[in-house]
Amino acid sequence: MSANGRIAAQPTTTVVGGNAFAFTFDPAGQLALVNAGFGNLSTYTGNENGSLSLVSAGAPDGQAAACWVDANHGFYLVANTGSGDLSEYTISPAGNVTLQQPVAAAGIAGAIDTASSGRFVYAQSGSSSSVKAYALNNDGTLSSIGSFAVPDGGSQEGIAAA
């Protein structure tokens, strides 16, 4: 991508292995990438030529099908579709990734996506046609605040919060 935000005419490909799936950016502007094949969160810096360089590979969370990531107050929540749960990571200012909780929240059948608003986290449960809601505590733990049915939500894909 150029300085004006335009996509390059000739994209650069960087092989990260596994199955790179979803991403966000940390406060330092580093790419925080979920890798479903490795079951972890990793950080990368962008190089002048458009390629990526690995900064830190977080420990695998031991869950199945790490797919989505959502940043909230310094915590990075990864939705594990196959395990039906959320894992939690932190990223230091230098970009070092640390697994905080392999299972920060459970019972989210088919956890397909997450979104945050303030200190609240919403996890889309595709297999149960519902959205699970949590409060993010200062220590990074999640407290369940409810489960809400999504009418005709059997094939839901994607969630947003404001």
Residues contacting residue 144 through CB under 8 Å, at least 6 positions apart = 105, 132, 133, 134
CB atoms within 10 A of CB 72: 20
Of residues 53, 59, 60, the one with CA closest to residue 30: 53
What is the CA angle 51-67-152, rounded to 5? 135
Residues contacting residue 139 through CB under 8 Å, at least 6 positions apart = none
Query: CATH topology for 20-155?
Result: Methylamine Dehydrogenase; Chain H (2.130.10)
Give the model confidence (pLDDT) of 68-122 as tens digits.
999 999 999 999 999 999 999 999 999 999 999 999 999 999 898 899 999 999 9
pLDDT score of 156 more than 80: no
